[in-house]
Amino acid sequence: MKKFFLLFILSIPFFVIAQQLPEYKVTRYDTTDIKGYYFLTSINGSIVLDKDINVIYYQPNKAFFDFTMQRKGLMVYQSNSYLYFIDSTFKVVDSFTTKNNVRLDSHDRLILPNGNVILLGMEKAKISLSNYPDIAKTLKKDSLSLLFPVIQEQDKQHRLLFDWRGKDYFKVTDADSLMNDPGDIHSNALALDDDGNILLSSKNLNEITKINRKTGAIMWRLGGKRNEFKFINCPVPFYGQHDIKKTANGHYTLFDNGDSPVPHKARAMEFELDETNKNATLVWSYETDTTTEGRGSVQRLSDGNTLIGLGRHLGTDICFEIVSPSGKKIVQVNGLFAYRVKNYPELPFKLHRPVITCFDSAGVNYLDAGAGYKTYKWNTGDSTRIIKPKNAGSYYVFISYGNSGYISSEKYIVSDILKPCDLKPSVNRNKKQVKTKKQN
């Protein structure tokens, strides 16, 4: 008989931003502290969540993609073929894009400690099928126009330092027959290995490719039809993977979408690679509840737990979950659709959030969000600076912040509607909220 502990389920309605954010649900499975801040881009905009999974910042924009923290307290997002840098006040301070008629790919980028930027781009190339008679016969075509990845490194002055073209290294037949053969390469993630060379994930190759950052040569290929490694403790290979990373312990993590003609459930996977003898040993994995057809992420947290973003999932609305090293769920968030989810233990800057105060006027108590803001959007639906609390419960307000965004106050908890000013503003705490319920 399998048992688990369901500690609480919290549904979050958003009257505050004109229903631009979908409702979401938080499920806690034990009292383990969850830490830091969570950055993600949902259907309608970019979001920052605190450790209690409350929205503390939101910017409505359907064009945003992959909102993350980067160097020196800057954040980045991609929109309309540009990578934008924003500062601690959420205002744009710089932007980058690819050069030489290369289209910027919104999937990923790297910001290096020296300020250089490695961008993922794409270009369409017309490929003759004269050397691929079987494909030409099947498709009844003489050529194909395919999208290939481009990797460009630029310095802080936007000067081009490295320009790698996938069309010079990948072949039409490299696309895995279980995916799209022939098909676009569909590269979706970049990472730096410890030696400074580049790791590239390509969905339609089912492959992680290591690329020499000086010469552009392919150093090795993991997965797919051109795989060079012997897989150990891994009878089922990864398919359509995303989010390759090098971890602090020298291993590699990725998100296995599991989407193939014979699908399996999506997995977070951790490999130990022997690059000399070409052995890839699966040392840890976690199987989710669903297959995913795209997107997704895996991040090993500093406490040893793993944050898993499920991307574009099939048959469920799970956005992300945190699991222990033994594979036990700690928290699960449903209802937000995100490309990736990233956790940061702390923010390198102070958020200037509104502070709710309570005051008495002629025997009537009011909540005040403070002066000087353009807009006020309370969770009650009110849009004025000052409101009268009507019921016991949590009160919070969003005010305009940065470039068309909104930042929230901490929650003001009213437990006694007859004496709302007797309490101080308070943030909900994980351990104080939970009510343990044992289920079979």
pLDDT surpasses 60 at 434: no
Angle value at C-alpha 400, between 394 and 401, nearest 5 degrees: 110
Which pLDDT score, from 0 to 100, does residue 419 have?
86
| pLDDT tens digits, 351-381 | 889 999 999 998 899 999 999 999 999 999 9
Question: Rounded mean pLDDT of 334-353?
Answer: 90
Q: By three-state DSSP, how is residue 343 classified?
A: strand
Q: The tokens 């150990």 sit on which residue?
A: 232
Angle value at C-alpha 88, between 90 and 322, nearest 5 degrees: 90
Residue 343 included in any domain: no
Q: The tokens 């690059």 sit on which residue?
A: 275
Contact (CB, 8 A) for 207 and 261: no
Residue 362 included in any domain: yes
| pLDDT tens digits, 288-299 | 988 888 899 999
Which pLDDT score, from 0 to 100, does residue 63 have?
65
Q: What's the rounded Cα separation, in Å, for the pair 143 and 263?
A: 30
pLDDT surpasses 90 at 404: no
Residue 75 included in any domain: no
User: Which residue range forms the structural domain that includes residue 379?
Assistant: 1-24+353-440
Which pLDDT score, from 0 to 100, does residue 435 have?
34
Residue 224 included in any domain: no
Which pLDDT score, from 0 to 100, does residue 182 have?
58
| pLDDT tens digits, 69-124 | 887 788 998 888 899 998 888 889 999 999 999 999 989 999 998 999 999 999 99
Residue 408 included in any domain: yes
Which pLDDT score, from 0 to 100, does residue 184 have?
84
The contacts of residue 20 (CB under 8 Å, 6+ apart) are 14, 44, 45, 58, 60
Q: What is the phi/psi pair of residue 148, to 5°?
A: -115, 150
Q: What's the rounded Cα separation, in Å, for the pair 436 and 425?
A: 26
Q: What's the rounded Cα separation, in Å, for the pair 201 and 273?
A: 16
Other beta carbons less than 10 A from residue 134's beta carbon: 9
The pTM for the full model equals 0.88
Would you mind telling me the total number of residues written for the chain in this entry? 440
Return mean pLDDT, the chain: 87
Which pLDDT score, from 0 to 100, does residue 201 have?
98
pLDDT surpasses 50 at 181: no
Give the number of domains in the chain: 1
Residue 207 included in any domain: no
| pLDDT tens digits, 139-178 | 888 988 889 999 999 999 999 999 999 999 999 888 876 5
Which pLDDT score, from 0 to 100, does residue 311 have?
87
Residue 276 included in any domain: no
Closest CA to 209 of 120, 112, 131, 293: 120
Which pLDDT score, from 0 to 100, does residue 439 have?
30
| pLDDT tens digits, 190-225 | 999 999 999 999 999 999 999 999 999 999 999 999
Q: The tokens 């190339």 sit on which residue?
A: 125
pLDDT surpasses 80 at 383: yes
Residue 337 included in any domain: no
Which pLDDT score, from 0 to 100, does residue 263 have?
82
Question: Rounded mean pLDDT of 412-429?
Answer: 72
Q: What's the rounded Cα separation, in Å, for the pair 222 and 227?
A: 5
